[in-house]
Amino acid sequence: LAESLTPREREVMEAVVRGLMNKQIAYELGISEVTVKLHRGNVMRKMDVRSVAELVRKAEVLGDGARPPVS
């Protein structure tokens, strides 16, 4: 699953898990919002999830460090 993500898809996934909106992700990565939507769709398909909440849970289980630890 996660190993099938491209480096850019992984960046988008990490930003989504951090709670950023597509527009914010596009700005942060220097790409268009449409491109973010394409990558985000690929991430959801490859990670086999239907919601962002599911994606967050999977990312936490994988221990990607995509989310900052809660203190």
* CA 65 to centroid of chain Cα atoms: 12
| Mean local confidence (pLDDT), 1-8 | 91
pLDDT, one tens digit per residue, over 6-54 is 999 999 999 999 999 999 999 999 999 999 999 999 999 999 999 999 9
CATH architecture of 2-62: Orthogonal Bundle (1.10)
Enter the tokens of residue 65. Answer: 């460090």
- Please report, for residues 5, 23, 25, 30, 32, the alpha-carbon distance to residue 55 in angstroms, rounded to integers and kept in the order given: 13, 19, 16, 23, 22
Taking each continuous run of H as one helix and of E as one strand, the counts in the chain are 4, 0
User: Given a cut of 80, is residue 64 above it in pLDDT?
Assistant: no
Look up the pTM and report it.
0.84
Q: With 70 as the cut, is the pLDDT of residue 65 above it?
A: no
